[in-house]
Amino acid sequence: MCFSSFFFFLSFNFIIPELPDYLSSIGGADYKGMIIGLFALAAGLSRPFSGRIVDHVGRKPVMVIGALVCIAMGALYPLILNVQGFLILRFLHGFSTGFNPTGSVSYLADIIPANKRGEAMGILGMVNNLGMSIGPAMGSEVAKAYSVDHMFMVSALFAVISMVLIFKLPETLKNNEKLQTRHLKIKGADIYEPQVKLPAVVMTLTVFTFGAVLTLIPDHAKQVGLQKQGYFFTVMTLTSVLVRLISGRLSDKYGRRPIMIFGVIALIFATILLGLSSTVTSLFVAAAVFGIATGTNSPTLFAWCIDLGNRHKMGRAISTLFISLELGIVLGSFIPAAIYNNEPANMPFAFWSGTFAAIIALMVLLRAAREEKKRYMEAL
C-alpha cells in the first residue's frame, strides 16, 4: 500500500512546479491562484462520496478511482491549449486526491493496532512525502530536458504503476457491498463527522500556509534567485520525512495534543521566516522549518482523527478531516494569492497571513487543553 501511495503522490506532484509558467504561456498568468485552489476544491467536494464508498464498498475501489483520474488527466493536459480547458482539467484532477488518500488512510486504520497509529501514519506520510519531494524536482528536470508534454505523460505513467500495485492488495472492509447508485446519494450526515471536530478545525488552520506555499513559492523562488523551484519542495519534504517517524511515535507515547502544540509553534516560525526570506539560503532554512512543522502536524492529526472516529464510519471521519484539509488549502491558495497580486513587495504579507492562521490554531489547542484539564479536575 505504501509503494502504491508513493507512486500516486509522485504522479500528481510531478507537474506542480511547472504549472504556473505553463498557465502563463497559454495566457493565464492572472489565474495562478486557481492552480491549487481548483484542485483542492474538487478534492474537498469529492470527499463525502469517497468516504461513503469507503465505508460501504471497500478501500481498494476508492484508491483505484483516484489513480484512474491521475492517468486520465496526465493524458489530457497536452491536448488542452486554452486557459478555460486547463482550469477545468485542474478541477477534475482534484478528484484524484479526493479519493485515493481517503482509501489508503482507511486501509491503514484497518490493519494497524491503536497503540501504533501515530507511527503508522508517520510511515505512510513518509512515503507520501518522498513522492512529494522527488516529484517536483524530477518533473522540472523532465520539462526542461524534454518538454512539458513529456512531463504530463510521465506523470500518468506513475499513476499506472500506483493502480497496478493497488490491485495486489487484499480488501480489508468486511461485508463490503457492490457499488450502487445509492452509495452516491449524499446526506448531510455524510459530509461531517462531529466526533473529529477539533482535529478538523486545527487541520484547516494549519494547512492554510501549505496552500500559500504551493501557490506562491514558484514566483518567490525566482525572486530570491532560485531558478529550479522544485528544490524548495525537496528541502521541505525531506525535512518532513525525517521528522514524521519521530513525531508519530511521540504522539503515541505522549498524546496527540502536546505534539500538535509543538508543531503549530514550529509552523508560526516557518511562516515568519518565509516572509523574511530574501536569499536562496534563507528560503531553504524556511523550507526546513516548514518541513518540521508539517512532519509533526500531519501524522498526529490523522492518528488523532482515527482515535476519535467511529470504527464503523471511519471513511466519514477521515473524509471530514480531508475536507478540512482541502478547505485550508483552498483558502491558503486564494487569500495569499490575492494579497500578493503579482506584486513582489506584497509577498511577505501573503506568507504572514499564514502566521495569523497558525496563531489561531495554537489558541484553539491551548483552549481545548485548558477545558480538558478543567473537566479532569472537576471529576476529581
Domain assignment present for residue 234? The answer is: yes
- What is the DSSP annotation of 267-303? HHHHHHHHHH--SHHHHHHHHHHHHHHHHHHHHHHHH
Q: What is the pLDDT of residue 351?
A: 94
205 inside domain? yes
List the domain range (segments joined by +) for residue 283: 2-169+191-379
Place of cell 489561531: 360
Burial of 2 (0-12, 13-18, 19+ CB in 10 A): middle
At 189 the pLDDT is 67
Is 185 a member of any domain? Answer: no
Total tally of structural domains belonging to the chain? 1
In 3D space, the residue among 258, 256, 242 whose CA is nearest the CA of residue 295 turns out to be 242
Q: 3-class DSSP state for residue 53?
A: helix
The answer to whether position 174 is within a domain reads no
> Within a domain: residue 179?
no
Other Cβ atoms closer than 10 A to 169:
15
User: Is 182 part of a structural domain of the chain?
Assistant: no
What is the reported pLDDT for 380? 67
Element (H, E) at 21: helix 19-25
Is residue 344, in this structure, part of any structural domain at all?
yes
- Name the nearest CA neighbour of 355 among 248, 209, 246, 140: 209
Give me the pLDDT at residue 362, please. 95
Q: Of 200, 173, 228, whose CA–CA distance to 317 is shortest?
A: 200
Cα 348 to Cα 350: distance, rounded to the nearest angstrom: 5
Q: Locate 284 and state its grid cell.
A: 531553504
* Structural contact between residues 19 and 152, judged by C-beta atoms closer than 8 angstroms: no
58: alpha, beta or left? (left if phi > 0; alpha if psi -120 to 50)? left
Distance set, CA 133 to CA 114, 234, 353 (Å) = 29, 4, 25
Mind giving me the DSSP string for 128-197?
HHHHHHHHHHHHHHHHHHT-HHHHHHHHHHHHHHHHHHHHTSPP--TT-----GGGG---HHHH--GGGH
**What does each C-alpha distance from 254 to 172, 231, 246 come to in angstroms?**
29, 34, 12
Mean pLDDT by 10-residue block, N- to C-terminus, for the chain (380 residues)?
94 89 86 82 86 88 94 92 92 92 89 87 86 84 91 95 94 82 72 85 93 87 81 84 86 90 96 93 94 92 85 79 86 90 90 95 90 72
Cβ density class 236-267: b for 16+ within 10 Å, e for less: bbbbbbbbbbebbbbbbeeebbebbbbbbbbb
With contact defined as beta carbons under 8 Å apart, do 292 and 206 qualify? no
Cα 154 off chain centre by = 21
pLDDT computed for residue 20 by the predictor = 86
Residues 6+ apart with CB under 8 A from 43: 94, 95, 96, 97, 98, 322, 326
Classify residue 178: in a domain, yes or no.
no
CATH of the domain at 354: 1.20.1250.20
Specify the pTM: 0.76
- Separation of first and last alpha carbons in the chain: 45
Nearest to 206 by CA among 332, 25, 26, 121: 332
| Helix (H) / strand (E) containing 255 | none
255 phi and psi angles, rounded to 5 deg:
110, 155
CA 6-12-16 angle, 5° bins: 125
17-47 CB burial, b ≥16 within 10 A, e <16:
bbbbbbbeeeebeebbbbbbbbbbbbbbebb
